[in-house]
């Protein structure tokens, strides 16, 4: 075998039949990761991966039939890994080695999956292009002059370029779905409260969720089954029964109601994106789904709400990097000076921008005008989704208004950069699950993403609607031509 199988389910079947081993899959992934030229990896954990592969092969020999045993995966470097450096792509955490793993990593360890290494991202997950990494931008394998999206660009590229069978990312405003769209892979953000964030470097705690990148919708569901569930270490996780999230994958969409919000088809959107998404909607209709107009009139305000709440929470979460407890320390003449120097040198420009905005929004006198007002609008946005989901089973939209843009194109224009997430961040504001799947290509042969959202905890319905489209199309089979 010279390349990784096309899906986790394919790989699992080969492993069960003894036609490959986890050791073999792991060597392929490690070789590809070392050969990577896109700046995807911040760390490749060869020996750790080989050890996990050996243990997985033992489990398989003993008849363990769980689907993730022996499967190589890529971990966004904002997710803590015991004994393995975790930087959040920030100079301030360079050299930080967590004494414990995040719950999501532990769950994948228990499932027998093999972690290949830590992937690049925008510093502290702040960005939409991966250009904010302290360790350099990531290139899009479809066109290396373009960004892969962000902030989980590294995990998206690892999957798109065949260097891992699935990846984990975090999504605070779109950081899983948007890079998934821009690199042509399936990418999913769970309902808020489904997945533990214990051990994940906190960005904006009322918005963050961990979720998968994979080649197929089914693979995303398999990973979610391993991740979902109550964690006593994260009080926001819901005590729900373990659920078979794949139960409806083959049911099709006949008789389902698909909501189409007109506010998600905005003037600034690229023609190719609009065409591909409208084609997908027509396909759903042809398959017997009913398209219903739903109104999400506050979509525009989502961006404003997000850019108050998110920096406010980030400014508070990032206060802990003081040069004493984690990572970098730059000595000053006294304690205050040490704080200043450490934070001044350790944080990049975008992170500082967010902390300044957040501190301002939370300060006495402005708190009511900005933060409290934003929380009120957040409630209204959630109410609009509630009303929409009274009329439909799922909402289908573009994931991002544009395809992958040129590296450097938007770095000097934060507002243009922030606009990337206009279609994804409402899902975070309202806490809803969403998945991006490939639905076409632009004239420049760049992937286009289709977003499917469902009501809270209705992931099985979201997967059903996504799988129906995937089963009928071959966009998910198309891979970038990666130069060897
Ligand atoms: N691009 C958005 C931001 O910069 C979302 C990031 C994310 O989801 N982590 O905040």
- Find the 460 Cα to ligand 1 centroid distance in Å: 25
- Record the pTM: 0.98
Q: How far apart are CA 166 and CA 160, in angstroms?
A: 9
Give catalytic residues, as residue numbers: 76, 151, 175
- Find the 172 Cα to ligand 1 centroid distance in Å: 6
Q: Is the CB of 129 under 6 A from ligand 1?
A: no
Q: What CA dihedral angle connects 207, 213, 217 and 222, to 10 degrees? A: -90
| Closest residue by Cα to residue 168 from 262, 68, 268 | 68
Handedness of CA 393, 428, 294, 441 (dihedral sign): negative
Tokens read off for 468: 């129906």
Q: Is the CB of 428 under 6 A from ligand 1?
A: no
Report whether 428 contacts 171 (CB < 8 A): yes
Q: Is the CB of 128 under 6 A from ligand 1?
A: yes
Query: Best of 423, 425, 451 to mutate for ligand 1, by most ligand atoms within 8 A of CB?
Result: 425
Find all residues with CB under 8 Å of 117, minimum gap 6, and list them. 33, 41, 42, 43, 44, 45, 49, 74, 75
Q: Is the CB of 421 under 6 A from ligand 1?
A: yes
- Find the 140 Cα to ligand 1 centroid distance in Å: 18
From first to last of its 484 residues, the chain has per-residue pLDDT tens of: 899 999 999 999 999 999 999 999 999 999 999 999 999 999 999 999 999 999 999 999 999 989 999 999 999 999 999 999 999 999 999 999 999 999 999 999 999 999 999 999 999 999 999 999 999 999 999 999 999 999 999 999 999 999 999 999 999 999 999 999 999 999 999 999 999 999 999 999 999 999 999 999 999 999 999 999 999 999 999 999 899 999 999 999 999 999 999 999 988 899 999 999 999 999 999 999 999 999 999 998 999 999 999 999 999 999 999 999 888 999 999 999 999 999 999 999 999 999 999 999 999 999 999 999 999 999 999 999 999 999 999 999 999 999 999 999 999 988 888 888 999 999 999 999 999 999 999 999 999 999 999 999 999 999 999 999 999 999 999 999 875 4
Q: Indicate the DSSP class of residue 74.
A: E
Q: How far apart are CA 300 and CA 421, in angstroms?
A: 11
Q: How far apart are CA 194 and CA 32, in angstroms?
A: 32
Residue 318 host element (H or E): none
Matching residue, tokens 């964690």? 231
């Amino acid at each position: 075998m010279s390349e990784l199988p096309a899906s986790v389910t394919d790989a699992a079947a080969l492993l069960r039949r003894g036609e490959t081993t986890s050791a073999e899959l792991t060597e392929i992934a490690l070789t590809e990761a070392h050969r990577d030229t896109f700046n995807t990896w911040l760390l490749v954990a060869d020996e750790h991966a080989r050890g996990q592969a050996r243990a997985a092969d033992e489990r398989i020999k003993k008849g363990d039939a769980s689907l993730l045993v022996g499967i190589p995966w890529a971990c966004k470097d904002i997710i803590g890994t015991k004994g393995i450096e975790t930087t959040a792509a920030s100079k301030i955490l360079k050299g930080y080695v967590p004494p414990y793993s995040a719950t999501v990593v532990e769950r994948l360890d228990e499932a027998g999956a093999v972690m290949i290494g830590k992937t690049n991202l925008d510093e502290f997950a702040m960005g939409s292009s991966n250009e904010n990494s302290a360790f350099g931008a990531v290139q899009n394998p479809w066109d290396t002059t373009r960004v892969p999206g962000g902030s989980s660009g590294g995990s998206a590229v690892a999957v798109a370029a065949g260097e891992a069978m699935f990846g984990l990312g975090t999504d605070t405003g779109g950081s899983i779905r948007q890079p998934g769209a821009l690199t042509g892979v399936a990418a999913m953000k769970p309902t808020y409260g489904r997945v533990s964030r214990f051990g994940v470097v906190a960005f904006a705690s009322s918005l963050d969720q961990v979720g998968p990148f994979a080649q197929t919708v089914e693979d995303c569901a398999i990973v979610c089954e391993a991740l979902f569930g109550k964690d006593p270490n994260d009080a926001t996780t819901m005590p729900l029964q373990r659920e078979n999230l794949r139960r409806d994958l083959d049911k099709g969409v006949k008789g389902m109601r698909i909501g189409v919000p007109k506010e998600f088809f905005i003037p600034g959107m690229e023609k190719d994106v609009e065409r591909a998404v409208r084609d997908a909607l027509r396909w759903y209709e042809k398959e017997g789904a009913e398209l219903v107009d739903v109104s999400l009139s506050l979509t525009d305000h989502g961006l404003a709400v997000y850019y108050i709440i998110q920096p406010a929470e980030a400014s508070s979460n990032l206060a802990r990097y003081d040069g004493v407890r984690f990572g970098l320390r730059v000595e000053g003449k006294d304690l205050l000076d040490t704080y200043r120097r450490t934070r001044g040198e350790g944080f990049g420009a975008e992170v500082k921008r967010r902390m300044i905005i957040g501190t301002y929004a939370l300060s006495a006198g402005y708190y009511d005008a900005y933060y409290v007002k934003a929380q009120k609008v957040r409630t209204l946005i959630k109410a609009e989704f509630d009303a929409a989901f009274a009329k439909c089973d799922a909402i289908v939209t573009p994931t991002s208004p544009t395809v992958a843009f040129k590296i450097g194109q938007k770095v000097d224009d934060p507002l243009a950069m922030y606009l990337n997430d206009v279609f994804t961040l409402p899902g975070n504001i309202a806490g809803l699950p969403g998945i991006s799947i490939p639905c076409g290509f632009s004239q420049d042969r760049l992937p286009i993403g289709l977003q499917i959202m469902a009501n809270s905890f209705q992931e099985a319905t979201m997967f059903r609607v996504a799988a129906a489209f995937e089963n009928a199309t071959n966009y998910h089979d198309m891979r970038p031509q990666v130069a060897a």
